[in-house]
Structure 1
């Protein structure tokens, strides 16, 4: 039985609830991720921060269709709004108590979870709740390939 620890990515960035949105945006950009784990001072996973959580607070119409004549106005408004939001704390924008998966979990169960819930990324913790890494769809594909190879 394959375990999550075999496929997960162990290297990752995280932020704390006291970090600024400015720092989050820079880390997201450098790591090429639109979601980051939020951990406490002991590296215990406590939630997530999504780029969409930030965007919906600076562009009120970000989840609807923006009329092309208003696009320039919306971008300028987002820039102005970000000037006020960038120094605020992660705690205000994070999703708390986001479920993480255990590194000892069965990959088949995680594969089902990712496919059913259309999850593209799941954070991985150990049995004590410490952040250990993450698993995304490319690792899911690797697991599925390994499973397909067993049948040959």
Structure 2
């Protein structure tokens, strides 16, 4: 039985729950990430912030529906809305129900969890719920490839 800790990525960026929206946006931009794990001061996993969560809170029209003739107005309005929330704590916009897996969990369970939650990555925690890394669909594919090769 293969464990998550064999396939997980241990290097990742995270943000603290008390960081502000503008700080997190700058981090996302700098590291080219649209999703980040949120941790407390002790590195305990609290949830996830998606850029989508922030966009939904600043776009004046229904998310994803911007008509071309209104684009300039919409962008200006979104910038004004962002101005109003940029100093708020990121924990106000996080998804606290993000599923995490234990580093000692079996890889056999990862595919089911990823598909049920429509996630391309799952964050990995230890027995103290401290963030240890993440596991992606690419890691899952590598595991499946190794399983297939082992059967030959």
Q: Secondary structure at the match of 1:70?
A: helix
Cα contact 1:55–1:62 (8 A) shared by 2: no
Q: Distance in 2 between matches of 1:118 and 1:97?
A: 13
Q: Is the 8 A contact 1:36 1:48 kept in 2?
A: yes
Q: Does residue 20 in structure 1 map to residue 20 in structure 2? A: yes
Q: For residue 20 of structure 1, report the CA deviation from its aligned partner.
A: 0.8
Tell whether the 8 Å contact from 1:58 to 1:81 is kept in structure 2 after alignment: yes
Gaps of 5+ in 1: none
* Cα RMSD for the two superposed structures: 1.5
Distance change >3 Å, CA 85–CA 112, structure 1 → 2: same
Determine the structure 2 residue equivalent to 1:70.
70
Shift of 1:144: 1.6
Give structure 2 stretches of 5+ with no counterpart.
none
Q: State the alpha-carbon separation in 1 of the partners of residues 64 and 29 from structure 2.
A: 24
The offset of 1:63, in angstroms, is 2.4
Deviations 1:6-40 (A, max 9, x none): 11111111111110111111221223221111111
Q: Do 1:43 and 1:130's aligned partners in 2 also have CA atoms closer than 8 Å?
A: yes
Structure 2 counterpart of 1:132: 132
The two structures have a TM-score, normalised by structure 1, of: 0.92
Matches within 5 A, 1:69-88: 69-88=69-88
Q: C-alpha displacement at 1:84, in angstroms?
A: 1.9
